[in-house]
Amino acid sequence: MTQTMKAMGISQYKQEKLEELTLPLPEISENEVLVEIVAASINPIDLKIRDGKLKLLLHYDMPLVLGNDFAGRIVKIGGKVTKFKVGDEIYGRPKKSKIGTFAEYIGIDQADIALKPKNLTFEEAASIPLVGLTSYQALHDVMQVQPGDKVLIQAGSGGIGTIAIQLAKLMGVYVATTASDRGKDLVTRLGADQIVNYRKENFAEVLSDFDDVYDTLGGQNLLDGFKILKPGGNIVTLSGTPNARFGKEYGVGWFKTMLFGLASAKLTRLEKKYDVDYHFLFMKPSGSQLEILRDYIEDGKLEPIVDRVFSFAQTQEAVEYSESGHAKGKIIIKINE
């Protein structure tokens, strides 16, 4: 096996274009496996990390390989790895301290991966881990949705929305979502019960008495989400501001917790005004939850939605396409055959 690998990343924050890097092959610990990555997907967090927007939460040395989920083959295992063997086809989401899936290889803890769904290609499987885990944890762990609950899922035809709608319907939830005319047919096919055309109407003027809001957009969409919740409801955001509660739970220290409290003061006021709970979600890797998602997929209950597949050499083009906001479903980078 070669001792070096190619990767795509940055040498500094706010770098306009990703650069190709040649790096040593990752060394693995006793609980880790070395994976030859076949495909990776692009997620909004990749762009936030590139632009330095998560520096308060995450520290990275440069150069930094981007990429937060993948599918591939195990080529080496650590001495204490018991669940997997060389040759296994797996998918996963590495810990935030060990990102770097826009690369030919990655070392990852056995607890953060699962066997790839048998009925998916590597490209399809690579589309699932981050959006699947994030949405499962939002709906199941944080909102703790019950059959019959009413949930708004923002941006239903996007990479997160397409999976979140399907998971919510599997949990027996009434789903409203926002989409354009171009995305309407897709979200209808995925099971959305109510579709608000965000180009023509404001969801806050159409929807009311909802149990939960799953916010993927931030900004005014997040603020408007409070207005449609019933007392005791939840608003879970991926794009809003972390609050002091998150700082304490995530263990960032008193100073950063204080900064989060100040930055989220407006959101805290809205929490009290509408008598709801505001949650900033920072998803955790989980091989056991990936197994749940795999079972859904193999049973035909959950399908990946892939918009486009780019080659490794086209990674920058794939990033730019992601930034355009036009993708319906996930954007994939094919790294190894």
- Tell me the pairing of strands 32-42 and 70-77: antiparallel
User: Which segments of the chain are extended strands (E)?
Assistant: 4-10, 19-24, 32-42, 64-65, 70-77, 89-92, 105-109, 113-115, 150-153, 174-179, 194-197, 210-215, 229-237, 277-280, 306-311, 330-334
pLDDT digits (tens, 9 = 90+) for 85-109: 999 999 999 999 999 999 999 999 9
Distant-in-sequence, close-in-space partners of 299: CB < 8 Å, separation ≥ 6:
none
| Same domain for 185 and 163 | yes
Q: Is residue 286, in this structure, part of any structural domain at all?
A: no
| Same domain for 233 and 107 | no
pLDDT band of 2, cuts 50, 70, 90: confident
Q: Is residue 252, in this structure, part of any structural domain at all?
A: yes
Domain of 248, in residue numbers: 130-280
Q: Is residue 288, in this structure, part of any structural domain at all?
A: no
User: Cβ(90)–Cβ(113) under 8 Å?
Assistant: yes
Instruction: List the single range of 34-38, 168-172, 243-247, 266-270 with lowest mean pLDDT.
Output: 243-247
- Which three-class secondary structure state does DSSP give residue 250? helix
Q: Is residue 89, in this structure, part of any structural domain at all?
A: yes
| Same domain for 241 and 195 | yes
Q: Is the pLDDT of residue 1 over 80?
A: no
pLDDT digits (tens, 9 = 90+) for 173-185: 999 999 999 899 9
| Same domain for 275 and 161 | yes
pLDDT digits (tens, 9 = 90+) for 99-139: 999 999 999 999 999 999 999 999 999 999 999 999 999 99
Model pTM score: 0.94
| Same domain for 140 and 121 | no
Q: In terms of pLDDT, which residue wins out, 247 or 228?
A: 228
Q: Is residue 275, in this structure, part of any structural domain at all?
A: yes
| Same domain for 123 and 143 | no
| Same domain for 161 and 117 | no
Average per-residue pLDDT for the chain: 95
Q: Is residue 293, in this structure, part of any structural domain at all?
A: no
| Same domain for 152 and 261 | yes
The number of domains in the chain is 2
Q: Is residue 93, in this structure, part of any structural domain at all?
A: yes
pLDDT band of 21, cuts 50, 70, 90: very high
| Same domain for 60 and 23 | yes
Q: Is residue 289, in this structure, part of any structural domain at all?
A: no
